[in-house]
Structure 1
Amino acid sequence: MGMFQTLGRTLGLDRRTFWEAVRLGCAAWLAFAIATFLHIENAYWAVMPVWVVSQPARGLLIGRAVFRVVGTLVGAAFGFALMWLDPGPAVVLACLGLWIAVWTAVLHLMRGVHSYGAMLAGMTAAVVLLPSLLHPAHGPALAMARVECTLIGVLVVTLVTALWTPRSSVEEFRARLAALAEEVLVTALTMQAPLRGSDERRLLKEIADLQAAAAQVTAGSMSGYRRLRRIDAFIVATLGLLAQLQRHAFAAPSGHPALEEASARAVAQRVLQDGRLDALAPATDRVQDADVRAALRRMMESYAALGAEAEAAGGGQRTLRTVLFSPLADRRKALLLGIFTGISTTLAATIAFLLASNAGELLALGVCIFGMVMGVLPAPRRMAPLMFCGVLAGVAIATLYRFGIQPHIATPLELVMSLSPFLMLGAFARLSRRTAIPAIDANMCFLLASQAVLPAVTDARDILSGGLALILAAGLATTVVRLLPRNRIGTARRLAQALADDLARLARPDTRGTSDAEQVRRGMMRLSIHLERGSRRGAERRWSLLSALALGETIARLRLRLASAAAPEQAALTDALEALADLRRDPDGAAARLGTITAAHADGDLRVAQAALTALLPVLRIGRSA
């Protein structure tokens, strides 16, 4: 037992992950064996889904499997349709580049596991079309074989690993939601707003983390997506309550708490444990601000709906767009990455077409795959070198396999058995906490570079050029990522500009309604993290993100009042909204104009807007900085 534990620590595995690695290796071997004995060409493609579909939670595994199949079928349908139309190589190359660009941009906009389907829709089109360009007579059959292998791999890894894959920790997630609800409820009952410094950032970061974790907890089932609607409604209602608290703090900075903290926490715990909202009424009735009371009730109603089996009333309509696409996505980054990946894939595919070689195809596939993958990594600058090391390792091992083992293989059984130790080694590397990140690329590149087929290709030039093509593709992707500016203020600037746009649009007279106010709340989740990471030392670290929420809510109040205001009041409100509509172009000028209007009119909402905008100016200045 002691030796086993020592070995496990050395390999970065515990008992659970050891047996997970064994099952994963068996699934990889079984997928390859099935495809080989069915005499499907390029049977090693059946192993590729195994490395990426496998997940630590069953819902994620099922979700990835489903979206891998959907994405594969969509990409294959596009590729085969283009082959059937046969518009000529130039048009095919242009259409492939455009297709890759669109799906690369889309996958950066989608939420959670849905983005995996977008990635496969783009990649599969390249997998299908490149053989038809390089080998017109044999290409369609080879492309169909690759699609069949993908489906075999997905089916095998799902069946082999799903029963042993644990479900997501729903109870832990519910406990975090309850803790958030308790903290915000206590804050409301004690009127502890505005929150200060680290408390605000911690609370907003927890909200953003819960939003991200919700996609994992609810993945893999239709009931999960229904729960996701209710979770989103609770998070938005929570942000709405925080906004009202901040607005009240600006309006009445010396307001008295409804309860002392100890009493407020006792009330909050009793209400959350019993699930009876009527027990909250005596406490909420003591909250003086009517808007805070209404926001508090909305939050608690949305929290109570989290445990309901039926759809929560008033949870908001979730269209297909809101289910699939993340409200936190950076659209500009998605567009730029889509254009870059589409153009680079087109150039690489053109080179492959002109060279008409296996190495050219691997170069084009590598550029497409690495370009799409690098853009979705959570920390691309840190992970790029690890990915490149994985590619080097995979190509090196594949080269040794092709020179030392493959020439001696004569039968399908020998081929299947020859690959088994490498697949098991790849499974252990994939599950080890020390090598998990580079192991994915090492396993993929080993399969692509090994060309484990019969009869074996033993030409040294072909072996070496194919490996070098994969290394070159990975090197290009890694270099592009490493050349990106280190300072994250660029991301913070774009997000601050997006916030200014949201607030300015809310103030314009053509605003459509409450959906824009909700968009401001959702945008706060992405802004809270990126601005904290990207802001420089000094005054810019002392801004209050809740001030943006308070400003958004106050703008909505001004818009409502404008419809029924008398002439003098209407003129002041119109001038204030026009000033706020200029936030993106000149935030300091907008603040000065709003200050002049506020000084001339004793209006509570105008004072709140002025105070919130003043607190928000450091963020808006980031958006304007050159």
Structure 2
Amino acid sequence: MNAATFARWGFDGPRFVYGLRTAIAACIALFIAWGMGLEHPQWAAMTVWAGSQPIRGMLIEKSLFRAAGTAVGVVAGVLLMLLARGDAVILVVGLALWVGLCAAAGNVVRGFVSYGTILAGFSAAMVTLLSTAHHDSIVLLATDRFATVLVGVIVALIVGLVFTPAASGDYESAATKLTARLLDEMARPAEERSLKEQKAILSEAATIEEALDPRAAGSINGRRLAHAVRALLLALVSGLLWLRGSEAARTDAETRQLLAEGGQVDAARFPEGARALRSISLGVDGLDNRPLEERDVHASVLLHRDWDGARTAGIRATATMLVIGLVWVVTGWEAVPYVLLGTSVMVTVFSTFDDPANFLKAVFTGQVLGAIAALACRWLLWPHADNELAMLLMMVPFILSGSLVQSHKLSVPAAMDYAMVFLLLSQPVLPLSGTFLQSVFNAAAVISGPLIAMAAFRLIYPIHPRKRLQLLVAAMVHELEHMAKGEGAAGGERWRMRLNHRLLRLVRWVEKTGSKDVDAFEGSFAVLALGSAIARLRELQAGGDLSQSTARAIRAALLRCADVGEEPEAAARAMEQLAKRLPASSDTELLVDAARQVRAESAFFRLGAA
């Protein structure tokens, strides 16, 4: 078959090659684990499928955190078994709490650290729920489980290092070019500035920021460069904010010339512009100091953390595991541990997805196909096997078929689960035991995981694209409210960096989903404008050189801002009234700009309070 025919049938050539390489590595891991006498050799093959990555750095980092997460999960599982001492109630409660904790933590941290954290949750489930009397001690059980996973990690790593390409993409140059475009925009007369260009700069900055962590994975210097690029991108957001205000509208020819030459503007006349340019300058300097050996101070970066999402993910996972565990305790049905195991994976891994319930439809399809393949292998082929080696050889065609599933445009989302469920349900041990009906029940128990998780994601703190968007906007609005109440850090740049990062995340989210619910550009900059105003008012309060009437007016304005999500118009009025009480200055400009933008984007602020 030639490449054109292959593509015409809906298959992607490079993806097929990648899938075939992964499948062959999975077969190698399967035979090695079996040769070592490990109890579940197919888990080594599962690890290869789970750990495989198309980029070398991502492969290295994911392998590291998979091994670390498995080790932590195995230890947690062993401790749970020691604590429970055969008591199913203690085991279920302990496992539910552990899985919930790992799900919550996995939604706070980022990248492959999140993956390793979540893996620690369901690795404990694999230790505690699929144990057998084969082991003489819990230590041997833990050693067997960890060794099985380690075989898969090592095989995936070796094969990947040989065949997987390094990351591509010069994000340093891209960020530098973007900086030049922004400075050029800032140097133009107000009437020549382009809102389209400003939105394009923000969009490209958001795209670059999203790609930094995957491309920097597996390299310490890559991480340092990603940090420097991200610091510069966050600084660019401050420059874009400046373009929205009155300072930018009144720049003269001399100031614009300074901007064109990359110089600093008069901080007394343009305090916000000078601050934004200092941040950009620091970000550019950070790019010039990339090598690991150089330890000069880089611009700091503070990122968005989804604390609300973490809390709900933890509660959802714990509650779901407790409900299923209760069924196990009451009925004693031997298939329920498979349900618990499958559910522990689904409610943790997919809690970080943008639309988990919708994605789980494809997961369910893949698991059904994998279960059918496992049943076919067990009842059509294995009865003819004379030894375990023959059983493993009979599994090979099914494992290799995963490359076809992974490369077809209609089945890509289901490919991973097809392979994983086939391997999970295939235990190559002689003599064969159980009935066909028992095998069907076990398969049904496993594939019930996505269905249960779908229900959990829809019923327990429902999560979907609009909710994700609302939570991100709410995080931005609540940041301002905390600052206004004096509960957040209004001084320095920490709040600004976090809001800038949330803005980039929001812009990218809206672009990917095509959401029409919110104007991420105007709304986010209204939040930043109000944040700058609140920070300045806090500085004036801290200075103490205020009349009593002015101090009262500032307190009143901050009190209104503390409830800006519910009453944005009231906060805007308070800022306008305060600006009238103050002598004309850059501070009054800042307040008026904030009031104008908050009033125009009141729907955005209310979305954060919904």
Common fold: TM-score over 0.5: yes
Residue number in structure 1 paired with 2:500 = 521
Residue number in structure 2 paired with 1:273 = none
Residue 47 of structure 1: how far off its partner (Å):
0.7
Q: Secondary structure at the match of 2:596?
A: helix
More displaced stretch, 596-605 vs 369-378: 596-605
Any idea what the Cα deviations from partners look like across 1:139-173, whole Å, max 9, x if unmatched? Answer: 765554232211110110110122211111132x3
- 1:315 and 2:298 correspond: yes
RMSD: 3.3
Residue number in structure 1 paired with 2:157 = 158
Residue number in structure 2 paired with 1:371 = 347
Letter paired with 1:368 = S
Residue number in structure 1 paired with 2:433 = 457
Any idea what the Cα deviations from partners look like across 1:216-271, whole Å, max 9, x if unmatched? Answer: 1111122222223222321222222223333xx235645456698xx999x6xxxx
* Contact 1:394/1:443 (8 A) holds in 2: yes
Residue 43 of structure 1: how far off its partner (Å):
1.0
Letter paired with 1:227 = L
Matching of residues 438-587 of structure 1 within 5 Å: 438-481=414-457, 488-509=465-486, 511-512=488-489, 513-514=491-492, 515-530=494-509, 543-564=522-543, 565-567=545-547, 569-587=550-568
Matching of residues 21-420 of structure 1 within 5 Å: 21-86=19-84, 88-132=87-131, 141-142=140-141, 144-171=143-170, 173-190=171-188, 201-246=199-244, 249-251=245-247, 253-256=249-252, 280-281=262-263, 289-308=270-289, 309-310=291-292, 313-317=296-300, 327-352=303-328, 356=332, 358-420=334-396
Q: 1:573 to 1:520 in 2, by over 3 A?
A: same
Q: Secondary structure at the match of 1:25?
A: helix
Letter paired with 2:527 = A
Q: 1:298 to 1:191 in 2, by over 3 A?
A: farther
Residue 467 of structure 1: how far off its partner (Å):
1.0
* Uncovered stretches (5+) of structure 1, i.e. residues with no partner: 268-278
Q: Secondary structure at the match of 2:262?
A: helix
* Contact 1:492/1:527 (8 A) holds in 2: yes
Any idea what the Cα deviations from partners look like across 1:48-106, whole Å, max 9, x if unmatched? Answer: 11112111111111111000000000111111122234453322221110010111111
Residue 392 of structure 1: how far off its partner (Å):
1.0
* Uncovered stretches (5+) of structure 2, i.e. residues with no partner: none
Q: 1:191 to 1:450 in 2, by over 3 A?
A: farther
Any idea what the Cα deviations from partners look like across 1:368-392, whole Å, max 9, x if unmatched? Answer: 1112222223443442221111111
Q: 1:258 to 1:211 in 2, by over 3 A?
A: farther
* Contact 2:316/2:456 (8 A) holds in 1: no
Letter paired with 2:417 = D
* Contact 2:499/2:528 (8 A) holds in 1: yes
Q: Give the distance between the partners of 1:417 and 1:213, measured in 2 at CA.
A: 40
Q: Secondary structure at the match of 1:522?
A: helix
* Contact 1:190/1:258 (8 A) holds in 2: no
Letter paired with 2:158 = L
Q: 1:258 to 1:313 in 2, by over 3 A?
A: farther
Residue 342 of structure 1: how far off its partner (Å):
1.5
More displaced stretch, 347-356 vs 457-466: 347-356
Q: Give the distance between the partners of 2:479 and 2:526, measured in 1 at CA.
A: 14
Residue 205 of structure 1: how far off its partner (Å):
3.5
* Contact 1:46/1:150 (8 A) holds in 2: yes
The partner residue of 1:619 within 589, 601, 604 is: 604
More displaced stretch, 198-207 vs 50-59: 198-207
Q: Give the distance between the partners of 2:167 and 2:25, measured in 1 at CA.
A: 22
Q: 1:357 to 1:414 in 2, by over 3 A?
A: farther
Residue 286 of structure 1: how far off its partner (Å):
12
More displaced stretch, 464-473 vs 225-234: 225-234
Letter paired with 1:606 = L
Residue 178 of structure 1: how far off its partner (Å):
2.8
Q: Secondary structure at the match of 2:564?
A: coil
* Contact 1:89/1:133 (8 A) holds in 2: no
- 1:598 and 2:588 correspond: no
Residue 202 of structure 1: how far off its partner (Å):
4.2
Residue 505 of structure 1: how far off its partner (Å):
2.1
Q: Give the distance between the partners of 1:535 and 1:55, measured in 2 at CA.
A: 30
Residue 30 of structure 1: how far off its partner (Å):
0.6
Query: TM-score, normalised to structure 2's length?
Result: 0.88
* Contact 1:194/1:245 (8 A) holds in 2: no
Residue 343 of structure 1: how far off its partner (Å):
1.9
Q: Secondary structure at the match of 1:592?
A: helix
More displaced stretch, 382-391 vs 64-73: 382-391
Q: Secondary structure at the match of 2:347?
A: helix
Q: Give the distance between the partners of 2:480 and 2:508, measured in 1 at CA.
A: 19
Q: Give the distance between the partners of 1:503 and 1:223, measured in 2 at CA.
A: 35
Q: 1:500 to 1:508 in 2, by over 3 A?
A: same
* Contact 1:201/1:528 (8 A) holds in 2: no
More displaced stretch, 507-516 vs 22-31: 507-516
Residue 459 of structure 1: how far off its partner (Å):
1.5
More displaced stretch, 423-432 vs 198-207: 198-207
Residue 349 of structure 1: how far off its partner (Å):
3.4
Matched residues, percent identical?
26
Q: 1:517 to 1:21 in 2, by over 3 A?
A: closer
Residue number in structure 1 paired with 2:593 = 608
Q: Secondary structure at the match of 1:109?
A: coil
Q: Secondary structure at the match of 2:156?
A: helix
